[in-house]
Structure 1
Amino acid sequence: MKKFLLFNTSILNGHLLNNVKLTTNPVQKDIENNPLFSEEYYSEPARKWEVRYDNGYPNVIYDPKYGKFRCYYTVFTYDEDSSKTPLNMRTKKLYSPSESRVTSLCYAESEDGVNWYKPNLGLVKFEGNTRNNIIMQYAHGTGVFLDEEEIDSRKRYKLVTKVFYSKRNHYMAVSFSEDGIHFEKLREWPKYNPRGDTHNFPFRDKKTQKFKLITRIWKDGVRIAAISESDDFINWSEPKEILRGDGFQDQVYSMPVFLYDNIYIGLASIYHEGDRSAKNFDLVDVELKYSTSLEHWDRVGERGEYFIPRGVGNYPDGEFDCGCIYASSPIEIDNKMFFYYMGSNGPHTGYRETYFARSWIEKDKFAYYETKDKSKVGLLYTKPFTLYGDELLILMEQEGSENPKISLCREDNTPYSGYESENCILTETGTPYKKINFKDKKIKDLKGNSIVISIEFSNAKIYAIAGDLESNKKDCES
């Protein structure tokens, strides 16, 4: 059985859509437990190496070998201004970063994904001792992932980072680890040195079995997402542009990517500048993107719809995540997709305190179609599918008592006899999906035929269809 998430435009016949719009389904934040942890420079006892998380760039992994959730995050372990400006003084002056700042990679872990612990790793000396959770220093925007397909156990964990000593001395590097704690000596990229001042996000592309890296370059004065690839995780191609935002106002600051069945989904942190009078100036929102190839990306939903909404308020009294948000790729737990993120309470270039938090959506519910005019019905038509079995399902939420009217049509969009909407019956399946049935007709009787699915609805959210379907376009499949 295959599923088809309707935010993928290649599934639908855009010419026949009527009175519908695609809407991003925002995450549900874990209000009960958030924030999960935060900077502790001014805590008691103080963690003097956690002076400013800044963006944090979290990499959250569940490792079944150790039975632990793991978070690898970027920290400024030295920042003169933040260390000399107590929290109660930060509204009285402007933040002034210096070139002496040092970024490092830190580590936290959890057994349940809620209660997190920062272990003393004993790896890096800081102010005379190694009682800290630092994995390595001078590492900016580090990306870490668990490569479950790696046959060499010494390379289970893979890491890409921008080693940054100064503006004149910096380079891209990789490393490997068996246990996710003890990484080998960093290996400098043999060729190319992109700006990389972002979340350098590596992953194994299951479609091609190549390693991919989402990093960042600059063009025309704006930040742009770029991709590099490698066969061995050591030798990387020159990063090339894959996504830019909209002028100064919507720049792609970073974008963790994950393959969700057969669709790439990007968690683009969108940075806003270009208008100092705008309410979102110098703030960062997470927007949902998708691609079928990694080469071209589209927005899910309309501009200004955000997947992880910022909290309410402003620095310093607003909610902990009212300023900037940077997400990790998700972890699936009990039919939910959990998105961990770093959220800060202030503007990007100002003072802000940053917190680690989590949120979720129900599986497959990234975005939905709804009606524009609530007093009228909406109409969706898919592109043709070939039916090869008797299973046909729809993922939806009905806000009223009337179910959508579904027809199975020929390629000329006329219904097959007996498969008209008035004969459609939806039944529960014990899952979020509902089964599509027809009076006196069986789905399998159309086996081998090309079908177009017509959905007429009101007061409903339509997320996806699934079943024994083969799309006529390979890039439709999820």
Structure 2
Amino acid sequence: MAKHLFLDLDEVAATHNVEQRVCEATKHPANPVLPVGRLDEWDAVRASVWSVRTVLYDPDDGLFKCWYTGADQERLRWRRMGYSYSEDGIHWIKPKLGLFEFNGSKDNNICLDMLGAVIRDPTEPDPARRFKMVTKDLVGSGPARAAYSPDGIHWTVGPVVDLPALSHGPDIVVLALDEQATDPDRRYILIWQERVPAAKPGPATVRGKFIAYGPSVEKFTSSPDNPFLDPKDGLEQENHFLTLDRYGTGWISVYEFGWYVPNGLGVFGQYAADLRLAVSKDGEHFSRICLTDKVIPRGERGAWDAGFLVIGDRIIVKDDTIYIYYSGQGEDWSLWPPGNYPKEFGGGKSGSVRLTQLGLATLRLDGFTCMQTVDREISGSLETTTLEIEPDTRLNANVAEVIARRSWVDVDVLDAETGEVIPGFSREECVPLAVDNVRAAASWQGGELGACGRRQVRLRFHIHGAARLHAYTLI
């Protein structure tokens, strides 16, 4: 089975009145999905992915699991790592773990007094190391350390991570396991951020993203091409956190696109951020695509996420749905990030003691990008590069926002050598793809795709009205 996505246009030979777009995820109506604690609890004002980064799905027990940053209402931010779980990714339970004391009680869900990112490693032979972390201390001045757990709840903090860049106060962004890596020294991936010179108005330095690879979570080697994502190369003034995931034959990264609103709040203005998309062939060199398209926008004025968004460290793909978890801050956040508050604000932590909560947005399978007509009214087309097929090959297409006789997709099958439409396989002889389906089966009067009598073909997808083509698959 060969799936073809539109994360880039390398497999598109020609287009007419059609463009690539990044698609906006749908925010869940139950947002924010993870409630903050009571005013007397450790996570009274923050319960979200931030310094603790991870929400994942564990197929071993059929649960979504979340390791999140919590903070109480004190201005000095008593932060820890909390654990929560959910059967559906929407309704979350905070178990009483009895491990760490807060306000004289262990009746809470704190699972570690460190911060960082978590992975589940199904290939690990030692059950005591099924879950792994790269951690940092709460103050943020010590070196990064590896940590291990059998269940993601009971952690053993191990040795200092062998990577000089993480020796002092690392800001950990992603820890990932690449099960498809052919080089054992690139099996584990670590991303962190450091200050780099700014090339735009605003702060003198901004956050650049750095990536390293290793054979374990205890030893990494930095990429020679760091920083791999730098604000100077995009439209944003800042990029803060991001995700990293294999997707199809490449990689995707949902990154925070940040800017300063010149409204008089903060030295440089009020910080704002939404979430946008970058893609990569090798997981090391990324390109931003459709620069002004948002994967998740800020909320409207007055919404819980109207100020700026912070992304977790990965996406989850389950049951034909992509789950994206993010932290939302309202516009009452006024002085973040560090360095953006005036001297008269005084010492202590940056930002505001305001709510920071966990939200969920979803996309359909393969729904990060699509091909659509330029105005979503007229008709257009795209032609693929040459495809190899067999006599039994079938074509499925992921089509959305289709309506019979108004917005649909149909397909010409072309002889790859002559470029001519193969008799019996023209778009006029194609059964219209007019039902929303991630696996819409294409057929013609001449039969299914493999019956066209050619081993090398091109496909010309005709897109009509508001229809979207997200992907196609040869099976």
Please give the range of the TM-score, normalised by the shorter of the 2 chains: 0.7 to 0.9
2:156 partner amino acid: E
Change (3 A) 1:49 1:390: closer
2-structure distance, mates of 1:332, 1:244: 28
Q: Matched residue of 1:215: which SS? A: strand
Tell me which residue corresponds to 1:408. Answer: 413
Tell me which residue corresponds to 1:332. Answer: 317
Tell me which residue corresponds to 2:84. Answer: 108
1:45-124 residue pairs with structure 2 within 5 A?
Answer: 46-48=40-42, 50-52=44-46, 56=50, 57-76=52-71, 83=74, 103-124=79-100
RMSD in angstroms over aligned alpha carbons?
2.9
Q: Matched residue of 1:242: which SS? A: coil
Change (3 A) 1:455 1:281: farther
Question: What's the % identity of the aligned pairs?
Answer: 22
- What's the CA shift for 1:156? 0.7
Unmatched tracts of structure 2, length 5 or more:
198-204, 338-350
Structure 1 counterpart of 2:356, from 354, 374, 387: 354
Q: Matched residue of 1:193: which SS? A: helix
Moved more, 202-211 or 240-249: 240-249
1-structure distance, mates of 2:264, 2:399: 40
Structure 2 counterpart of 1:307, from 295, 306, 314: 295
- What's the CA shift for 1:381? 1.4
2:280 partner amino acid: S
1:341-391 deviations in Å (ceiling 9; x for gaps): 221213444323111222212212222111114554222111111113321
Matched, 1:177 2:171: no
2:471 partner amino acid: A
Structure 1 counterpart of 2:252, from 265, 275, 281: 265
Tell me which residue corresponds to 1:188. Answer: 160
With the length of structure 1 as denominator, give the TM-score of the two structures: 0.82
Unmatched tracts of structure 1, length 5 or more:
85-99, 469-478
1:462-477 residue pairs with structure 2 within 5 A?
Answer: 462-468=469-475
User: Is contact 2:70–2:79 with CA below 8 Å preserved after alignment?
Assistant: yes
Tell me which residue corresponds to 1:36. Answer: 33
Select the structure with the greater relative contact order (CA < 8 A; seq sep ≥ 6): 1
- What's the CA shift for 1:216? 1.6
Tell me which residue corresponds to 2:200. Answer: none
Moved more, 224-233 or 322-331: 322-331
- What's the CA shift for 1:277? 7.1
Change (3 A) 1:423 1:180: same
Tell me which residue corresponds to 2:123. Answer: 149
Tell me which residue corresponds to 2:227. Answer: 241
Moved more, 368-377 or 215-224: 368-377
1-structure distance, mates of 2:94, 2:418: 61
- What's the CA shift for 1:196? 6.8
User: Is contact 1:68–1:110 with CA below 8 Å preserved after alignment?
Assistant: yes
1:410-425 residue pairs with structure 2 within 5 A?
Answer: 410-411=416-417, 413-425=419-431
1-structure distance, mates of 2:330, 2:53: 17
Structure 1 counterpart of 2:393, from 387, 390, 395: 390
Change (3 A) 1:404 1:335: closer
Tell me which residue corresponds to 1:228. Answer: 212
User: Is contact 1:230–1:236 with CA below 8 Å preserved after alignment?
Assistant: yes
How many residues were matched structurally?
Answer: 434
Change (3 A) 1:119 1:295: same
1:157-194 deviations in Å (ceiling 9; x for gaps): 0111233535xx32111111111111112421133134
Tell me which residue corresponds to 1:165. Answer: 139
User: Is contact 2:136–2:143 with CA below 8 Å preserved after alignment?
Assistant: yes
Change (3 A) 1:330 1:374: closer
Tell me which residue corresponds to 2:178. Answer: 205
User: Is contact 1:155–1:176 with CA below 8 Å preserved after alignment?
Assistant: yes
Change (3 A) 1:326 1:401: same
1:401 partner amino acid: R
2-structure distance, mates of 1:213, 1:274: 31
- What's the CA shift for 1:263? 2.6
User: Is contact 1:275–1:281 with CA below 8 Å preserved after alignment?
Assistant: yes
Change (3 A) 1:414 1:215: farther
Moved more, 377-386 or 273-282: 273-282
1:180 partner amino acid: G
User: Is contact 2:234–2:288 with CA below 8 Å preserved after alignment?
Assistant: no
2-structure distance, mates of 1:64, 1:442: 35
Tell me which residue corresponds to 2:21. Answer: 23
With the length of structure 2 as denominator, give the TM-score of the two structures: 0.82
